[in-house]
Chains A and B, each alone.
Chain A
């Protein structure tokens, strides 16, 4: 299997105007960026809007990327900001038009069953019951796999604060989800392998 071109090489080429390299870079990271956005804002058009905003912000700021942080860390920070912006836009919409909510409700209930269920799941998503200050560090840790220092850098927080918020966020989320039903007698093994748990 051919080895992939490293991100660093793609970034350098992109910074020198190589649009093909930029396209590869964006394609490579789009899904991860969108996943972050979707976890923060919920699935649907908002997540796509946020992801698109993030991609454009990445492109526009790529010249300023100096490689001191990993590209993934840097891009997650941008995605997080884009998602937060999208949340704020959504909140403005919600605050300014209750009627608009009715409109979406009508759409959901008049759509096919699958879409309605999906919408319901989105609404009920336990993750979105977490306050933003806990949700985002947890997402960056457990979805993106960033370590505490990287998250601290991305969110401009102290590592200790990140550690605390992740723990509290997980705790709150665990309380929302409820007890684990399979006995809970698993002995601990080091590391979480969160991404392999699925």
Chain B
């Protein structure tokens, strides 16, 4: 039998232990067929090559999210989920386990992050603008008319950016979520605080928080983290990112009042805070606003600066 007679399917059958002895002998006697078999084996090895395991924190969060999805209406009883709760000292009245379960049921990555993680006012750069455009035009599915109504009522300057934008907080590329946000670019925060004189001043808001509540550095809370905007959109649709925070609460968590107050009636508006983290060294804190008309708007520091 010539080597040309040995098809990849025949050779592949040898690899899978499904060839008969006669075929195997014929292949072994044919250098070209043997060489091709060697190539196929190399391909198999390539596929079977081990890959690095997941970041332990993310692994734990994924399992905790799945466990929470198993019992969305009951108290957290799993080890992993309990660890997350135990490490968390919510400073708000909402129930962390219940929130965890609801979010997890929709497929969120859930991690604990320091309360100090703030709605940073770093300088807007092209990256942030690009991300904002993506959210606005494509993946987030904003009801523009609703968003514009809310925003325009506050400021004509908001213009098209009434939909969404992302703030960027640069962190170490290999940092985990907590570290990434815990060490949020303080320089950028300070720079923005001075550059935007009448706009976004996260430090001031954080200072108020520190003065009126527990010390943020000692407190952690559970925050939803999504790695891309499509997932954020899906989870808003599913209701896992939900209207669960008041204006007062988001302000207390570091979002400047100058951002929140112009957008809607602060007594009735509802919000959520989500971290967008692509695990590539960039994380952004997103304010999600649930408008009265059912539309959703996502904002970041840059938008807030414009509103201010």
Contact = CB atoms under 8 A, between A and B. Distances in A.
Interface residues of A, number: 82
Contacts of B79: 20, 23
Kindly list the 10 A-B residue pairs having the minimum CB-CB distance in the complex, ordered from nearest: A96-B138, A171-B8, A167-B12, A55-B66, A184-B35, A167-B9, A184-B38, A174-B39, A173-B43, A142-B47
B77 A19 contact: yes
Interface in A137-172: 138-139, 141-143, 147-148, 163-164, 166-168, 170-171
B22 interface: no
A56 B48 contact: no
Contacts of A111: 173, 280-281
A100 B134 contact: yes
Contacts, number: 245
A143 B211 CA distance: 55
Interface in A83-109: 89, 92-93, 96-97, 99-100, 102-104, 106-108
Given A43-B52, A46-B227, A143-B48, A197 B41 contact: yes
Interface of B: 7-9, 11-17, 24, 27-28, 31, 34-55, 58-59, 61-63, 65-67, 69-71, 77-80, 104-105, 107, 109, 126-127, 130-131, 133-134, 137-139, 173-174, 227-231, 277-282
Q: Which of A108, A171, A186, A188 has the most chain B CB atoms closer than 10 A to its own CB?
A: A188
B42 A115 contact: no
Nearest to B133: A99
Given A22-B67, A55-B66, A96 B134 contact: yes
A126 interface: yes
B280 to A, nearest CB: 5
B48 A198 contact: yes
B9 A164 contact: yes
A28 to B, nearest CB: 10
Given A23-B78, A59-B69, A126 B46 contact: yes
A53 B69 CA distance: 11
13 contacts: A19-B70, A45-B277, A48-B54, A53-B107, A55-B63, A93-B230, A97-B138, A166-B12, A168-B9, A171-B8, A171-B40, A174-B36, A180-B35
A44 B277 CA distance: 12
